[in-house]
Structure 1
Amino acid sequence: MKNNETIRIAIAETSVIIRSGLTSALKRLPNLRVQPVEILSVEALGDCLRTQYPDILVVNPTFGDYFDVARFREETAGKGIRLVALVSSFVDTSLLNKYDESFSIFDDLEALEGKISRLQNIKVEEETENQETLSQREKEIVVCVVKGMTNKEIAENLFLSIHTVITHRRNISKKLQIHSAAGLTIYAIVNKLVELSDIKNL
């Protein structure tokens, strides 16, 4: 599968907070086009499977009291649906072995994107042609740095861990050979990542 194709992901979860939270997160993935479908009951799941098969079904293992993985796989054999456990509380790990993957409510956007890419066999585009080419996420981090945000603020703003932000910043410095906020500011202006008016007030 190519990373510009839309991935249809059904989310079977009775909790509206968890379901809508995951839907919101999936829509924010920078490098994947995802069409989330929220499913709140066993009947709705049946309707979904009768109309159009999702590429990935993310389901709480306790959905409908108990989600029968073996039965689901039997009923959808040959349809190529990847099955993902949605872990929002303590779950027996032996139960998770029946699934292709698991999403945790503690996963950040980068972790979700990586897991979906692996499930769909999407090759992450390598930027070897041009060492200076920044990924979309790295560009977002440059903009945050230019705006004077701390690593903690960047992490909160982009829904990443502080460790991930630090890794991105290290990669940005390595790619661009720029090691100061002032240098990044000039880079961001020249490459039209920010407008001059955005940084006048800093």
Structure 2
Amino acid sequence: MMFLSTELVLVSALSLVTGVVSKTSDLFNDDGLTSFPRASELSGLLWALTGALLIAIDPAVAAVWLATVLYWFLRRKLDHFNHAVAGVTMCATGLFAADRGNVHLGGFLALFAWLTASGYANTWLKEKYAARVRLQKFLRLRLRYYAGPLALAVYCADILPAATILCGMLGTEAVTILWSRKTSRSVIDFTGTPAPTLARD
């Protein structure tokens, strides 16, 4: 596969949009963002669309997003209508793709196990050492979200799992930083709220 193949460009663009939309969906629910009527529901539908397209494009990319969404369901993070629309749509697309052999099942299981184990460990550290500012800043980087897909990319000799997580996180972090500046809240305080995006526990 060429480094700048059409598939890579498409996955990167969709992942960036997914990161932006997923974080924006959360702002409607938990952080006071207001816009036109039904904007919250529309954000969920757009998130569902971009997420489903990502799952349909490539088996390894599907593994990354399905593991992430199912982890969020496990931790009861998809707790609003726009979240649920996206999560259910992506899971349904994943079942359809898996039935046709278009999901990297080994990668999915490994990523789900990794996110679950590291997620509970992350929560324990945040609560146990809440007063340690440096540790909290480090945990806020959410490096575990990068580690699994990057490992899968190396294992598959395929850049797409790495591209999808990097671009998705970029979109999420961009919205987080912009909103924190608009509301004069620190990024750490802002992302400390339970948020159903890539920048969450």
TM-score normalised by the shorter chain: which range applies?
Answer: under 0.3
TM-score, length of structure 2 as denominator length: 0.27
By relative contact order (CA 8 Å, sep 6+), the higher-ranking structure is 2
